[in-house]
Structure 1
Amino acid sequence: MTGEKIVDLARSLWRELAKFGVVGVVNIFIDMGLYNLLIAGPMASKITAAKIVSGAVATLFAWVGNRFWTFRHRRNRPVHHEVLLFLVVNGIALGISALWVAFAHYTLNLEGRFWLNVNAIISIGWGTIFRFWAYKRFVFRNEPVTEQPVTEALAEPFEHDRHRSEQSA
C-alpha cells in the first residue's frame, strides 16, 4: 500500500468518524432528553424500559443520519437488507446499553437522577463503540461506489454546499 493510499484511507476513516460523531452527539440529546422525560414522568419506576424507548427513538434518527450523511458514499446491498442489519446492530447496542443501566441501577444500587444520567451516558458510550465497529464491518461495509479517489468523493458534498452558498451571496 502506497503512502498516498494510506493517507486517503486515514482521511476517509477520519471523515466517517467525524460525521458519525456529529450524528452521535445529536442522538445523545435525543436519547438523554427523552430518557429524562420518561423517568421524570410516565416511566419513573421503569428505568430499563425508559432507556429502551429513548434508545429506540434515537435509533430512528441514527438510521437517517448515518445512511444519508455519514455513509452515503457506500452502497453494498439493497436498502431493506441494510435496514435489517442496521436494526439488528442497534438492537444489540440497545441491549448493551439497557444491560448497563439495569446492572448499575439494580446491582450497584446507583440511584438518583445524577447516577441515572451518568449511567445512561456510560451505556451510550458502550453502545456507540459497538455500533461504529459493526456499521463499518457489517452494515455499510463496501467501498465507495464512485471511481473517483476517496478524498474527492468525501469532499464533494462540501463543494456542493460551498457552491450553493456562493450562488446565494
Structure 2
Amino acid sequence: MDRSTGLQGGLTRIFREVAKFGAVGAAGVLVNIVAFNLLRHGTGLQVVRASVLATVVAIAFNYVGFRYFTYRDRDKGGRTKELALFLFFSAIGLVIENGVLYVATYGFDWDSPLQSNVFKFIGIGVATLFRFWSYRTWVFKALPAREALEQAESFLTEAEAEAGAPQSVRR
C-alpha cells in the first residue's frame, strides 16, 4: 500500500466517522431543542433548569446512537467503563452547553424565547466540539488492528456458517 492510499483511506474513515457522529448529533440536537422548548414553555421551568433536563434526555438518546451506529465497530469490552467515561465527558459538555445559556440569560439578560434557543444552540455547538474529541479519544476507542482483523474474520466465518457455505481455509 502506498502512502497516498493510506492517507486517502484514513481521510475516508475520519469523514465517515464525522458524518455518522453528525447524523446522531443532529438527531440529538433536535431531541434537545424540542425537549427544552416543551419543558420551558409547557411546564414553566426556568430556562437553565429546562435546558439541563433537555440535555440529559439528549445524552441518553445520543449514547444509544453513538454505541449502536457511529461507533458500533469499536471496542465493546468494558461497557461499564465506557458508560462511566461517556457520562463524565457528557457532564462536562452539559456544563459547557448550559454555561453559554446561563451567561446569556443571567449575565446579559437575553431571555426571550428566540434568544434562549439561539444561545442553547450555540452552547450545543461549542460542547459538540469537545464531545467529538473526547468520545473518539477516550470513550469509544478503536480496536487495535489485529483485534479488528480477528473480529472481521470471525464475523465472516459466522456468516458463511449461517449461509451454509463451506468455511474458507483459515490462515
Q: Where in structure 1 do 4 or more consecutive aligned residues deviate above 4 Å?
A: none
1:36-75 correspondence runs (5 A) = 36-44=37-45, 46-75=46-75
Count of residue pairs the alignment pairs up:
149
Extract unaligned runs of 5+ from structure 1.
154-169
- 1:1-169 matches, within 5 Å, as 2-44=3-45, 46-75=46-75, 77-143=77-143, 145-147=147-149
Q: TM-score, normalised by structure 1?
A: 0.82
Per-residue deviation, 1:77: 4.0
Per-residue CA distance 1:101-126 (angstroms, 9 max, x = gap): 10000001112111011011001101
For 1:147 and 1:53, how far apart are their aligned partners in 2? Answer: 41
Tell me, what secondary structure is at the counterpart of 1:56? Answer: helix
- SS where residue 148 of structure 2 aligns? coil
CA displacement, residues 87-145 of structure 1 (integer Å, 9 cap, x when unaligned): 00101000101111100000011121110110110011011111001011111122464
Relative contact order: is structure 1 or structure 2 higher (C-alpha 8 Å, sep ≥ 6)? 1
Q: Give % identity.
A: 31
Q: Secondary structure at the match of 1:26?
A: helix
Q: Distance in 1 between matches of 2:142 and 2:123?
A: 29
Q: Which has more radius of gyration?
A: 2
By how many angstroms is 1:28 displaced?
Answer: 1.0
Instruction: Give the superposed CA RMSD.
Output: 1.9
* Post-superposition CA distance 1:10-33 (Å, at most 9, x none): 111000100000001111110000
